[in-house]
Amino acid sequence: MTYRTTLDLLFKSQRFLPNYKCDIRKNVIASIGGLGADISFHMADILGLYKIPQLHSFLQAISFNISAGETVSFNVNKELETGFDIINMVTFQNRSFQRVKVGRVDSSASKGKQFIIHEDMIVWQNTFNQGPPLSECNTHCLPGFQKKKKEGEKFCCYDCVPCSAGKISSQKDMDDCVKCPGDQYSSKDRDQCIPKTLNFLSYEQPLGTGLASITLSLSLVTALVLGIFIKHRNTPIVKANNRNITYTLLISLLLCFLCSFLFLGWPSKMACFLRQVAFGIIFSVAVSCLLAKTIMVVAAFMATKPGSSMRKWVGKRLANSILLSCSFIQAGICMVRLGTSPPFPDLDLLSLTEEIILECNEGSVTMFYIVLGYLGLLSLISLIVAFFARKLPDSFNEAKFITFSMLIFCSVWLSFVPTYLSTKGKYMVAVEIFSILASSAGLLNCIFSPKCYIILLRPELNNRKLLTRRKN
């Protein structure tokens, strides 16, 4: 029976043979026995005639060298472990070719030597693209892009979509882009995050230097005007219409200019705490002085009429009452604001893409606009009163200058609101400083330029008779 089965193995390999597994090859290379020694001996009689070796059934997990100098290995599943040579077919012009070994793939080799390729030995034909072929539907997605699967295509087919703003991909074929931290922004190529720069109005910047120079110049001019008025304090033009109110107005304008320095530089906690309060109170004092002057003009004119009851109101008491009451109301609003929602230094990471805005958070926006609203109300009342008093006799013509000054003041601050809301960062601070300087300079120029002209250049006009003449 053993001889019959062995002969069937040799010559009828296409048929089913019990206890044997045959491939589709026609020639038997070797036989692995699995029965007793007596059967193996009988098989060896037949297989020996055809020079076919018979292998032991327990030939597994071993390796040995053969005469060719190569190592033959069997794994635990009795499978032959061997590697493959990578052959480069070098084709010549006469259509002949030569096989050149350029590498090897061997899963049983030590780590790092399982795949070896010598790229410098590869010779490509001129018709090739000088590179290995791709196994995907498309090229790799470069850094700055992310993969997006193509609908209806195989899993390896995808589109490369650029990362959105604020996100990056630093490697090839990333499934999703990574969002940059809040203090960084994505580069133009969307392949790295770049730290944001700080944005605030500093003295070193040309804009900050220019505003600081203008502020200092206007402060010096105001101090000079105050010195002129103090020096000529006993002349009629200085004594007219309440000298103390004039001094208060000049000092408040000087402080208005100086408070601009609170908006420049690093927004510290103390600067944020003081600047809006100083701005609100000082400007309210300045506008209250103008309102007091205007009302004094009207009251003085009405007091000249026979039997007028306004004579008892003409004097320092009325002016001081208007000044203190209007200023204390604004001071009370500012104190409530500081007590409920004080300003504080803050970082704005979202408004600008490449910069971090260092700003003073105004706290309650409602209270901020209440301060501005009250200041606007005082300005409007002063403008209306001065407008109706502008045609009074020449002895009281200061109302004309107040009218022009309040027109400039109101125009500046009406244009300030939309401009302030439409800017960000240091330019928002620059708009506020410019509004402070422009409105204060308008008041200083319109009210005190005519008086300084008379005091310094036309002193002959600085006498009581000329100042008290009336229109016919």
Please give the residue that has the higher pLDDT: either 133 or 320: 320
pLDDT digits (tens, 9 = 90+) for 138-190: 778 899 999 888 887 776 788 889 999 889 999 988 889 999 998 999 999 99
Q: How far apart are the first and last CA of the chain?
A: 155
Q: What is the residue type of 212?
A: A
The string of pLDDT tens digits covering residues 332-355 is 999 998 888 889 999 998 888 899
**pLDDT number for residue 350:** 86
**Lowest mean pLDDT across 12-16, 227-231, 416-420:** 12-16
The most confident of 77-81, 109-113, 253-257, 452-456, by mean pLDDT: 253-257
pLDDT at 24 over 50: no
The secondary structure element, H or E, covering residue 375 is: helix 365-388
Residue 167: predicted pLDDT: 93
Q: Which is higher by pLDDT, 210 or 44?
A: 210
| Torsional sign, CA 155, 159, 164, 168 | positive
More confident residue, 13 or 48: 48
According to the model, what pLDDT value does residue 396 have? 46
Residue 367 clears pLDDT 80, i.e. is over it: yes
Torsional sign, CA 182, 188, 191, 194: negative
pLDDT in tens, 186-226: 999 999 999 999 999 999 999 999 999 999 999 999 999 99
The pLDDT score that the predictor gives to residue 213 is 96
Bridge partners, residue 147, by sequence: 160
With pLDDT > 70 as the criterion, what percentage of the chain qualifies?
A: 74
- Whether residue 358 contacts residue 267, with contact meaning beta carbons closer than 8 Å, is answered with yes
Give Cβ neighbours of residue 440 (< 8 Å, ≥ 6 apart).
218, 253, 256, 257, 286
46-54 mean pLDDT: 61
pLDDT at residue 29 above 80?
Answer: no
Secondary structure (DSSP) of 36-87: -HHHHHHHHHHHHHTT--EE-TT--SEEEE-TTS-EEEE-TTSPEE--EEEE
Angle at 380 between CA 378 and CA 386, to 5 degrees: 100
For tokens 């502008």, what's the residue? 390
pLDDT for res 151: 80
Mean pLDDT of 282-305: 82
More confident residue, 389 or 210: 210
Instruction: Give pLDDT, residue 229.
Output: 93
Is the pLDDT at 48 greater than 50? The verdict is yes
